[in-house]
Amino acid sequence: MNLSELIHEFILALIEPGILVGSIGTVSFINTANSAFSLGLVFTCISLLYFALNADFIAAAQLLVYVGAINVLIVFAVMITDQSVSSDSEKRGIGYFTALGACSILFLTIVCIFHKINDFYSSSIHQSEYLKLNLFEQNDVQNIGYQLLNKFLVPFELASLLLLVALVGAINPARDEDEGKDIAENKKNRLFLQLHLVISPHFSK
Amino acid sequence: MNDINSFLSRLNSTINFSTILPEIILIVGLITIVITDLVNKGKNAIFLYKIFLISTLVSMGILFYQLISVIAFEDLYTNNIFNNLFRFFILICSFISVLLSVDYVLCSKISLAEFPLFKISAGLGGMILSCATNLITIYVSLEFLALSSCFLSGYTKRDIRSNEASMKFLLMSGASSSSLLYGFSLLYGFSDGQVQLDNIIDKISFSQYLPIICISAAFILAGTAFKLSLFPFHQWTPDVYEGSPTRVVAFFSVTSKVAALSLFTRLFRLIFPYLSNEWHIVVELLAISSMILGNLIAVTQRSFKRMLAYSSISQIGYVMIGILAADLENGYASMLTYTFIYIFMNLGTFARITPFSLRTGTNNIRDYAGLYMKDPVLTFSLVLCLLSLGGIPPLSGFFGKHYLFWHGWKAGLYISVTVALVTSVISIYYYLKIIKLMLTKTTNLVDTLKTYEKQKSLVSSVISTKLKSSVEMAMILCALASTLSGLFMDPIIKITRNTFF
């Protein structure tokens, strides 16, 4: 391996434990706020992974959408709920071990497949083919925009409608319809919720 | 400005908008509903339903016109007859279910502008899902359909069962669509970055990557079998059907199943033709178990909606036989015919339960006792639809099942057809149990029915005659279609015949 590959491997080796530690922390922290913050760590490390794989647009979108909007919302929701610290772990029944067995079998299957494919792809023929594609000089953002409006027009417009319906559907159960309540407070609540819900999908579009 | 002009001219030359004109009309209807509701500030909600009805009818008209011609829309759609027929089915489902829900306007106190919005968006998602040939379009439209159905099922937010139903639906549909996405990602990766279904088959080399294809097929099967509520993935169906409002259950019991059927057929036919022996066996197993499970558990149910949920699980088991039995000369004729008849039967049954539960507030089967004396119209139309679901001769359900099983027998699916016949007989038992309950005169009537008369007069003074007749119009339409479609089977079969691809 030459120097650039070595650096690439080194960076990946730094990022991947971050993802692993963050995801284990997300599921096993008892305090929900710690769990939400380690989820933020996972998203940030995934975004760094995208940078290392030379997909700059996706990396920026990941940072903005996942870390900047979704994780902020999650932390906000966690902090705003008044929760007691959950009790210690219950006895681990048969369901735990069945799930553990099934997940480990799935994991081993995926690892075996990826090893097989990795051996296949690290042969020299494929390396030269990938270098011929010359990915490093394309303008990603322009390409994505072009494809979105030409080839993927229908899913793009449909996704915008989906956001509209999701907004309406999220506000619908949350809003207050009591006639007796203070109208100003109602409007303020609704506006706040709507503002928050408008900002986060705006970045994902 | 120059850029925009050149872009528009390029757009017009590459994309032929007339092929998605029905969907565009639905989108226009959706936006009109939102704007009208904003302008009217919540009053005059009946107008919104009229907009919905008009847009659905106009879409149907344009779709009829397009059924004659087969146009390919760039890479995103192909409008062959199979896809067009499914779009037409979904429009029929939307239309009839809107007729059912018009009386919701005056009888409940919650705001109702969002209801037609969600219904139109679910119909739109279903229509685009029926024609999508692109992995991304499939996923986005599937999510659109699932999300709108989930909001619909949680619509009565004061009812705790409705909250539970929509939570279950949301979580489980999220899990299943993530497994579907994983299967798609495997296909995307190993076909060198192709998203079009046709290009995927061209580029992916089946001999080399057979284990990957099998794993991807398993994940896609898990994802789509959830929407179809086949055997191991059916657990959400009874709870969601029981908890959601009845009109909503009527709508998404047909719409999402029809859309999921078209997705299932297209994916498995196009992508995995070399694996057809393997996935045939798996789907046959799933179909047999759903038929057995659905019918056996439906016998023990006490709530009408839960019983209908289990019976719809078994009906999808029958339709799976139709998918497996497709061959060159008949295409998917049996599946399409049975789906068409199933839509009317199912919607008809729900159309009868809706006013009954409105008037008496209960869904227990035992409370239907002696209904014959109080409301003969409802009783007889319910009898017709239930007999059609069971498959009794002069009604169209019999002809649909007969064609399906004959097709399946001819294709060599002996075990499935035998199991289907046995479980059909079991299903006749629980449908007839309800009919017997309704038609026999009991000396001491149930309390609910004693108040039936009074409530009926109360309700009808609130509902104007126009609205009451819309539900009755839906009832009569479905009853007629359930009864007479059997006589018109031949033209239907002829239309659905050349749908093999």
Q: How many Cβ atoms are within 10 Å of B305's Cβ, its own excluded?
A: 21
Residue numbers in A near B11 (CB within 8 A):
149-150
Q: How many Cβ atoms are within 10 Å of B109's Cβ, its own excluded?
A: 8
Q: How many Cβ atoms are within 10 Å of A111's Cβ, its own excluded?
A: 10
Tell me what pLDDT residue A86 has.
60
pTM: predicted TM-score of the whole model, two decimal places:
0.82
Contact between chains at A158 and B137 (C-beta distance less than 8 A): yes
In DSSP terms, which residues pair with B78 in a beta bridge? Answer: B72
Which of B136, B148, B150 shows the shortest C-beta gap to A155? B136
B 112-131 near A (Cβ less than 8 A): 114, 117-118, 121, 124-125, 128
As a three-state string, the secondary structure of B397-439 is: HHHHHHHHHHHHHHCCCHHHHHHHHHHHHHHHHHHHHHHHHHH
Tell me what pLDDT residue B363 has.
79
Residue B487 Cα, gap to closest chain A Cα (Å): 40
Residue B339 Cα, gap to closest chain A Cα (Å): 26
Q: Answer whether B14 touches A (CB < 8 Å).
A: yes
Residues of chain B scoring pLDDT < 70: 1-16, 42-45, 67-79, 103-111, 328, 441-470, 498-501
Tell me what pLDDT residue B259 has.
93
pLDDT in tens, B280-328: 888 899 999 999 999 999 988 888 899 999 999 999 999 998 888 877 6
Closest residue in chain B to residue A174, using alpha carbons only: B157
Residue numbers in B near A165 (CB within 8 A):
117-118, 121, 144, 147-148, 151
Contact between chains at B76 and A154 (C-beta distance less than 8 A): yes
Do A79 and A31 meet the contact criterion of CB atoms below 8 Å apart?
no
Tell me what pLDDT residue B144 has.
93
**How far apart (Å, rounded) are the C-alpha atoms in residues B387 and B393?**
9
For residue B304, the number of C-alpha atoms closer than 13 Å in the C-beta half-sphere is 30
Residues of chain A scoring pLDDT < 50: 179-184
Closest residue in chain B to residue A120, using alpha carbons only: B208
Contact between chains at B150 and A169 (C-beta distance less than 8 A): yes
**How far apart (Å, rounded) are the C-alpha atoms in residues A17 and A39?**
14
Q: In sequence order, which residues have a C-beta less than 8 Å from that of residue A117 and are 6 or more positions away? A: none
Which of A155, A172, A173 shows the shortest C-beta gap to B140? A155
The encoded tokens of residue B341 equal: 């008849």
ipTM, 2 decimals?
Answer: 0.84
Q: Answer whether A179 touches B (CB < 8 Å).
A: no
**How far apart (Å, rounded) are the C-alpha atoms in residues A123 and A155?**
37
* DSSP string computed for A94-118: HHHHHHHHHHHHHHHHHHHHHHHHH
Closest residue in chain B to residue A150, using alpha carbons only: B11
Residue numbers in B near A154 (CB within 8 A):
20, 76-77, 128, 132, 134, 137
Q: Answer whether B159 touches A (CB < 8 Å).
A: no
Residue B11 Cα, gap to closest chain A Cα (Å): 7
Contact between chains at B140 and A158 (C-beta distance less than 8 A): yes
Tell me what pLDDT residue A61 has.
92
**How far apart (Å, rounded) are the C-alpha atoms in residues B501 and B499?**
6
| DSSP3 helix / strand / coil % (chain A, rounded to 5) | 80, 0, 20
Phi, psi of B331 (to 5 degrees): 60, -145
Residue numbers in B near A168 (CB within 8 A):
34, 114, 117-118, 151
Tell me what pLDDT residue A190 has.
61
Could you tell me which of B367, B392, B133 has the C-alpha nearest to residue B262? B133
Phi, psi of B240 (to 5 degrees): -70, -40
Tell me what pLDDT residue A71 has.
93
Which of A159, A162, A169 shows the shortest C-beta gap to B118? A169
Could you tell me which of B227, B236, B220, B288 has the C-alpha nearest to residue B254? B227
The encoded tokens of residue A31 equal: 């305090």
Which of B77, B147, B155 shows the shortest C-beta gap to A165? B147
* DSSP string computed for A3-51: HHHHHHHHHHHHHHHHHHHHHHHHHH-SSHHHHHHHHHHHHHHHHHHHH
Do A153 and B137 meet the contact criterion of CB atoms below 8 Å apart?
no
Residue B381 Cα, gap to closest chain A Cα (Å): 35
Q: Answer whether A14 touches B (CB < 8 Å).
A: no
Chain center to CA of B463: 28
Residue numbers in A near B34 (CB within 8 A):
164, 168
Tell me what pLDDT residue A194 has.
63
- Quick one: DSSP state of residue A176? -
Q: In sequence order, which residues have a C-beta less than 8 Å from that of residue A97 and are 6 or more positions away? A: none
Q: In sequence order, which residues have a C-beta less than 8 Å from that of residue B270 and are 6 or more positions away? A: B133, B197, B198, B201, B501
Contact between chains at B212 and A113 (C-beta distance less than 8 A): yes
Q: Answer whether A173 touches B (CB < 8 Å).
A: yes
Residue B268 Cα, gap to closest chain A Cα (Å): 22
Could you tell me which of A174, A204, A180, A169 has the C-alpha nearest to residue A192? A174
Sort B401 into a burial class: Cβ within 10 Å, 0-12 / 13-18 / 19+: buried
Residue numbers in A near B139 (CB within 8 A):
155
B 290-349 near A (Cβ less than 8 A): none
Q: Answer whether B141 touches A (CB < 8 Å).
A: yes
Q: H or E stretch including B35?
A: helix B21-40
A:B CB pairs within 8 Å? 76
Longest dimension (CA), chain A: 74
Residue A98 Cα, gap to closest chain B Cα (Å): 17
Do B354 and B478 meet the contact criterion of CB atoms below 8 Å apart?
no
Longest dimension (CA), chain B: 83
**How far apart (Å, rounded) are the C-alpha atoms in residues B179 and B347?**
30
